[in-house]
Copies of this chain bind each other. A is one copy, B any other.
Amino acid sequence: MLFGKRPSDDDTVVAMLAAALRRDIAFGHLHPDQKLKIEALRQRYGGSNHSMRETLRVLAAEGLVEATSQRGFRVMSATEQDLDDILFLRLEIERLGLSRSMAEATVAWEGAVMAAFHAQRHADKVVQGSLDDADALEWDEVCRVTSLTLVQGSRSPRLMDLAGKLFNQSRRFRLAQLREGQIDFAARDARHKALCDAILAKDTALALELHEETVRSDLGRIRR
């Protein structure tokens, strides 16, 4: 069947729990540094204690949760330093991935990029003016796809995996920006158009510059 779901979907309890926790961490329902007691989580999300422990291990691997030996888990902190650190790494990794993608650009990849930016433009329109959490989540998911598409041409599985993790870690900050109306959609759209053009024109330097601007402004860290 076309578009059949991958086997890595929510087909296990742990995957479902992880998705639920990820969402609640992204929206700040589980707030930074909050202690994550297994029993309390079970009561809220269901699952056995083992499933919950396993879930927390998974989230710890993604950098959303911090595991401390004999002391359980807590939501990863979200300080200024955390944001700076995530942003720093994200920029470097995505810069690396994008330049590699562009260096060995294929028609298929360019097509994926165009499709991603098209979907992005649509999602941006929808989320403007909406204060609904579901819309915000969907918008953020589209942003994720766009971001990952840019590095997808690098053909480095570990880099792509890493880019995904870093994006997830930056979600909280990005959604906070959206909630506070700090996102300038007009500028954003212009940048996206310019970035798409730069990529198709194979102007690597310009593309990297525009991409960095996009990421920074999404997270409220415009340089200068």
* A residues neighboring B (CB under 8 Å): 7-9, 11-12, 15, 50, 53-54, 57-58, 60-61, 63, 68-71, 85-86, 88-89, 92, 96, 156-159, 162
Of B8, B61, B92, B156, the contact of A88 (CB 8 Å cutoff): B156
| B61/A57 in contact, CB under 8 A | yes
Please name all residues of chain B whose beta carbon is closer than 8 Å to the beta carbon of A71 when the two chains form the complex: 7
Give bound CA distance, A180 to B184, whole Å: 58
| A60/B61 in contact, CB under 8 A | yes
| A15/B92 in contact, CB under 8 A | no
Mostly, the A contact residues are helix
Please name all residues of chain B whose beta carbon is closer than 8 Å to the beta carbon of A159 when the two chains form the complex: 85, 88-89
Give bound CA distance, A103 to B89, whole Å: 17
Please give the distance in Å from A44's CB to the nearest CB on chain B.
Answer: 21
Of B11, B57, B69, B92, the contact of A7 (CB 8 Å cutoff): B69
Give bound CA distance, A54 to B96, whole Å: 33
Please give the distance in Å from A72's CB to the nearest CB on chain B.
Answer: 12
Most central of A50, A85, A158, A162 by chain B CB within 10 Å: A158
26 sampled A-B residue pairs with Cβ under 8 A: A7-B68, A7-B69, A7-B70, A8-B68, A9-B69, A11-B70, A12-B70, A50-B50, A53-B54, A54-B54, A54-B57, A57-B58, A58-B61, A60-B61, A61-B61, A63-B158, A85-B157, A85-B158, A85-B159, A88-B156, A88-B159, A89-B156, A89-B158, A89-B159, A92-B92, A92-B96
